[in-house]
Amino acid sequence: MQNRIVTLDEFIIRRQKEYTLATGELTGLLRDIGVAAKIINREVNKAGLLNILGAVGNENLHGDTVQKLDLYANEKLIECLKNSGECAGIASEENEDYVPIAPMDEKESKYLVVMDPLDGSSNIDVNVSVGTIFGIYRRKSDPSGPCVLEDFMQKGNELVAAGYVLYGTSTILVYSTGRGVNGFTLDPTIGEFCLSHQDIKIPEQGNSYSVNQGYYLKFDVEMRRYIDHCSDSNFGLRYIGSMVSDIHRILFQGGIFLYPNTRKYPLGKLRLLYECNPLGFIVEQAGGKAINCSLERILDIEPKTLHQRETIAIGSPAMVDEMKEFVERYRV
């Protein structure tokens, strides 16, 4: 008998019933992110047709050239989250400051969203997969007033939920609320995300590593020793240059993704709040590990600023443990 279709909405609502304390706000928030993902997907899929390719010529606050789709994705997500009435504020890669959201009909919102609206967007022009990354926190400040910066300075281990959308050969939304990881593939014929990967578990070990080999000589000696070990072990090198794509592959095939410190990025390139923490949450929920190159657990790092960068090693637990051994053995 053909498996019954379980839509994202149905799954979220069913899971909410398992939470005796659930009051539906988180459910509403997750569903609104799903709506935004469908809207973004529509534009990503026809980027080449609508002349929305190419940089708008301006740069974002980090000096990266901003692609029109970055802006579009950011606007759509903020719009959907504002309409949800469940979100008190947003921290986005595309906004220098956090975006407080006024309560709707005096209803107090208790959640916050951190997000990278379109990660890897420099790949859009060459038709390489890109992704949306999001994390959801409970606000700490008085719900009767606007959110404050401290609301966003929470460790990754305080995330209530996290997920990503990968706009690839198919569009898949993967998320966790702390009780396992599930994936939903968009069926464009019915416009629904349908359960396609239930209870995802990362392989203990993989046979590929993911790092920008071009920076090899700029890595610290202990990272070079570990990368040499991967090569000596005949591991394949897979690096797409789009973190969501690399992490998604590793979730299913196993492996390790590394972005160590370099001269250009002495603190690492990737952002703690809306790249490392949400993806670290997902990978840990799937049985994997995520640490930085100083061997601290990513989810235990105390954020100090919205856009702070972090080094990262994330993936199959046996491979992260082995990388840790190399760092301990060779670091000077």
Q: Which residues bind ligand P6P (CB under 6 A)?
A: 119-120, 122, 212, 241-243, 269-270
Shortest spacing between CB 174 and ligand P6P, in angstroms: 16
Nearer to ligand P6P, 16 or 212 (CB): 212
**Residue 14 exposed, middle or buried by CB count within 10 Å (0-12, 13-18, 19+):** exposed
- Of the residues 25, 32, 70, 246, only one is catalytic, namely 70
Nearer to ligand P6P, 241 or 287 (CB): 241
Per the structure block, which two tokens stand in for 81?
């989250």
Active site includes 279?
A: no
Active site includes 119?
A: yes
Active site includes 94?
A: yes
Nearer to ligand P6P, 141 or 212 (CB): 212
- Of the residues 25, 86, 119, 284, only one is catalytic, namely 119
CA–CA distances in Å: residue 25 to residues 21, 53, 108, 131: 11, 36, 11, 25
Q: Which of 69, 158, 162, 163 is nearest to 122 (CA)?
A: 69
Shortest spacing between CB 148 and ligand P6P, in angstroms: 27
- Of the residues 116, 151, 222, 284, only one is catalytic, namely 116
Active site includes 70?
A: yes
Active site includes 97?
A: no
- Residue 45: count other Cβ atoms within 10 Å of its Cβ: 12
Residue at token pair 């988180």: 26
- Residue 46: count other Cβ atoms within 10 Å of its Cβ: 10
In sequence order, the β-bridge partners of residue 138 are 111
Residue at token pair 């794509």: 245
Do 242 and 130 meet the contact criterion of CB atoms below 8 Å apart?
yes
Active site includes 93?
A: yes
Shortest spacing between CB 314 and ligand P6P, in angstroms: 11
Report the C-alpha gap between 287 and 30 in whole angstroms: 22
- Of the residues 9, 10, 64, 75, only one is catalytic, namely 64
Per the structure block, which two tokens stand in for 86?
């469940």
Nearer to ligand P6P, 113 or 124 (CB): 124
Nearer to ligand P6P, 84 or 242 (CB): 242
Shortest spacing between CB 129 and ligand P6P, in angstroms: 10
Per the structure block, which two tokens stand in for 201?
């578990």
Shortest spacing between CB 275 and ligand P6P, in angstroms: 7
Nearer to ligand P6P, 94 or 119 (CB): 119
Strand, helix or coil for residue 92: strand
Shortest spacing between CB 259 and ligand P6P, in angstroms: 6
Active site includes 275?
A: yes
- Of the residues 25, 93, 192, 284, only one is catalytic, namely 93
- Of the residues 94, 151, 246, 284, only one is catalytic, namely 94
Active site includes 116?
A: yes
CA–CA distances in Å: residue 106 to residues 77, 138, 146: 22, 18, 12
Report the C-alpha gap between 259 and 246 in whole angstroms: 12
151, HSE (Cβ side, Cα atoms, 13 Å):
29
Pairing verdict, β 312-315 and 192-197? unpaired
- Of the residues 192, 222, 275, 284, only one is catalytic, namely 275
Per the structure block, which two tokens stand in for 268?
């690492």
Shortest spacing between CB 35 and ligand P6P, in angstroms: 24
Active site (catalytic) residues = 64, 70, 93-94, 116, 118-119, 275
